[in-house]
Amino acid sequence: MHVIVPDGIDDPARPSGGNTYDRRICGGLGALGWAVHEHGVAGEWPRPDTAARAGLAREIAGIPDRSVVLLDGLVASTVPEVLVPEAARLPLVVLVHMPLGGGRPGGVATDVRADERAVLSAAAAVVTTSAWTRRRLLDRYALQPGRVHVAEPGVDVAELAPGTPAGGELLCVAAVTPEKGHDVLLAALATIADLTWRCACLGTLARDPGFVGRLASRARDDGIHDRVWFAGPRTGTDLATAYAAADALVLASRAETYGMVVTEALARGLPVVATAVGGVPEALGHGADGVRPGLLVPAGDPAALAAALRRWLSDAGLRQRCRHAARQRRETLPGWADTSRQISRVLGGVAA
Dihedral in degrees, nearest 10, Cα atoms 237, 238, 239, 240: 40
User: Which of the pair, 23 or 9, is modelled with greater confidence?
Assistant: 23
* Polymer length of the chain: 352
> What confidence category does residue 102 fall into, taking pLDDT thresholds of 50, 70 and 90?
low
pLDDT reading at 297 higher than 90: yes
- The confidence score (pLDDT) of residue 162 equals 94
In DSSP terms, 115 is beta-bridged to none
The reported pLDDT for the residue numbered 233 is: 93
Residues 186 and 315 in one domain: yes
The band of 83, judged by pLDDT with boundaries at 50, 70 and 90, is very high
For 166-218, how does the pLDDT look when each residue is reduced to its tens digit (9 = 90+)? Answer: 999 999 999 999 999 999 999 999 999 999 999 999 999 999 999 999 999 99
* Residue 162 located in a structural domain: no
Candidate from 98-107, 127-136, 272-281 with smallest mean pLDDT: 98-107
Percentage of residues in the chain having pLDDT higher than 90: 92
Distance CA(108)–CA(57), nearest Å, equals 22
Residue 331 has pLDDT above 60, yes or no: yes
Residue 279 Cα distances to 125, 167, 244, 346, angstroms:
21, 26, 25, 21
- CB-CB contact of 228 with 187 (8 Å): no
- Per-residue pLDDT at 255: 94
Please tell me the total count of domains within the chain: 2
Indicate whether 322 and 347 sit together in one domain: no
Domain CATH code at residue 260: 3.40.50.2000
Q: Which residues contact 210 (CB under 8 A, 6 or more apart)?
A: none
Residues 213 and 254 in one domain: yes
Same domain as 323, residue 176: yes
**Which is nearest to 179 in space by CA: 349, 16, 351, 9?**
16
Which of 105-119, 219-233, 278-292 shows the lowest per-residue confidence on average (mean pLDDT)?
Answer: 105-119
pLDDT at residue 106 is higher than 50: no
What is the reported pTM? 0.91
| 105 pLDDT more than 60 | no
What span, in angstroms and rounded, lies between the C-alpha atoms of 58 and 197? Answer: 53
Residue 12 pLDDT > 80, yes or no? no
Q: Is the pLDDT of residue 107 over 80?
A: no
What is the C-alpha separation between 327 and 162, in angstroms, rounded? 11
Cα–Cα distances (Å) from 238 to 19, 212, 235, 241, 281, in that order, read: 18, 22, 6, 5, 27
Domain that holds residue 73: 2-154+334-351
Question: For the chain, first and last CA: distance in Å?
Answer: 13
- Domain membership flag for residue 110: yes
Domain co-membership, 177 together with 313: yes
